[in-house]
């Protein structure tokens, strides 16, 4: 467990989407955050106190969370210098970047001398199995997306909370760095060797024998040329009884690929259902989650209504308006006493 309280890192970032890890931790673990660290060049804020490393440590921060995502997931010299500053102030450092903290000798040496710990969130568990596709008991919902960073984690967590409010057992299964920092456990799926992706999800979400739900955080998109492989393995390993499609209607081009337009949500949903049927023949869609943060409330509600009518599925912004329409559809499709379609005899 990474020791809270946290100081959240924004650094010199000029990419708001790239701050999704710090922002996610600020939203879902705000009580564990003492402040944010950013340089003057960074125009973004998490609406937390802006603190220096020394001020954060004096305020009780135990860990600097390098909650940024940059191309290639590299540390870079400015980030290393800031991490060294945190260590000198007496803080641990946690990172979900692809380049590991432990592979930077200066950080390793400084941490050892200061008696603090480096946490590499993107380390997958050892001895992951190869997926077998055997039916397993339990109900699982997987969030899927038209693109990367369209709100899959937010939707999954909102759905978990909505189910729990109705007395239904529901567990969030994290598959990315932000989700793992929020949940305290999970599998960083994009760091898993390709042959073991589906097996990693089978292990993350094993058979369960109650009427509860495992809510599995989606990654990437079947329509994103860079990350479709991870999305495919997720669909097969999750064996979802239900799929929730996530979409950002304000985005015109795929993230990081300006030469690729965003896919049509209906086509994306159909493709995900088709791929999922390899291991979950009776999978069904239970709704659409829109990220309407770029719209005012009236426009957001109109778009949710229009999307619901177009796709014949409930549609909401679960973070903004709540996930109850999705939960209603889950109750309609999966009565609490009914067995999952993927339960083995």
Q: Tally Cβ neighbours within 10 Å of residue 270.
A: 12
CB 10 within 8 A of CB 68: yes
Q: How far apart are CA 134 and CA 142, in angstroms?
A: 18
This prediction's pTM: 0.89
Angle formed at CA 71 by CA 69 and CA 75, multiple of 5 degrees:
65
Q: Which two tokens stand for residue 152?
A: 């899959």
pLDDT in tens, the chain (345 residues): 899 999 999 999 888 888 889 999 999 999 999 999 999 999 999 999 999 999 999 999 999 999 887 766 788 899 999 999 999 999 999 998 888 999 999 999 999 999 999 999 988 888 899 999 999 999 999 999 999 999 999 999 999 999 999 999 999 999 999 999 999 899 999 899 999 999 999 999 999 999 899 999 999 999 999 999 999 999 999 999 999 999 999 999 999 899 999 999 999 999 999 999 999 999 999 999 999 999 999 999 999 999 999 999 999 999 999 999 999 999 999 976 433 333 332
**In 10 A of CB 320, how many CB atoms?**
18
Structural domains for the chain? 6-120 (3.40.50.720), 139-333 (3.40.50.300)
């Amino acid at each position: 467990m990474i020791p809270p309280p946290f100081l959240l890192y924004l650094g010199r970032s000029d990419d708001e989407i790239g701050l999704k890890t710090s922002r996610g931790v600020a939203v879902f673990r705000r009580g564990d955050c003492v402040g944010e660290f950013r340089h003057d060049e960074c125009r973004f804020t998490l609406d937390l106190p802006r603190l220096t490393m020394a001020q954060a440590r004096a305020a009780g921060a135990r860990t600097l969370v390098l909650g940024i995502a940059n191309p290639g997931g590299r540390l870079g010299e400015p980030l290393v210098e800031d991490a060294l500053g945190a260590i000198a102030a007496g803080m641990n450092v946690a990172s979900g970047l692809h380049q590991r903290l432990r592979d930077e000798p200066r950080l390793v040496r400084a941490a050892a001398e200061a008696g603090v710990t480096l946490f590499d969130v993107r380390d997958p568990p050892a001895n992951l199995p190869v997926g077998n596709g055997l039916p397993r008991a339990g109900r699982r919902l997987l969030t899927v997306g038209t693109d990367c960073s369209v709100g899959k984690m937010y939707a999954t967590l909102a759905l978990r909370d909505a189910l729990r409010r109705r007395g239904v057992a529901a567990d969030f299964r994290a598959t990315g760095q932000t989700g793992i920092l929020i949940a305290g456990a999970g599998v960083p799926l994009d760091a898993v060797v390709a042959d073991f992706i589906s097996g990693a999800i089978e292990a993350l979400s094993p058979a369960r024998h109650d009427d509860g739900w495992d809510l599995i955080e989606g990654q990437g998109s079947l329509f994103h040329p860079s990350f479709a492989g991870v999305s495919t393995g997720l669909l097969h390993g999750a064996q979802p009884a239900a799929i929730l499609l996530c979409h950002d209607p304000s985005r015109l081009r795929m993230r990081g690929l300006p030469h690729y337009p965003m896919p049509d949500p209906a086509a994306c949903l159909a493709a995900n259902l088709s791929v999922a049927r390899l291991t979950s023949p009776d999978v069904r869609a239970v709704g659409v989650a829109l990220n309407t943060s770029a719209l005012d409330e009236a426009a957001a509600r109109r778009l949710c209504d229009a999307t619901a009518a177009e796709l014949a599925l409930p549609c909401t912004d679960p973070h903004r308006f709540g996930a109850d329409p999705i939960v209603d559809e889950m109750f309609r499709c999966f009565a609490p006493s009914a067995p999952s379609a993927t339960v083995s005899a």
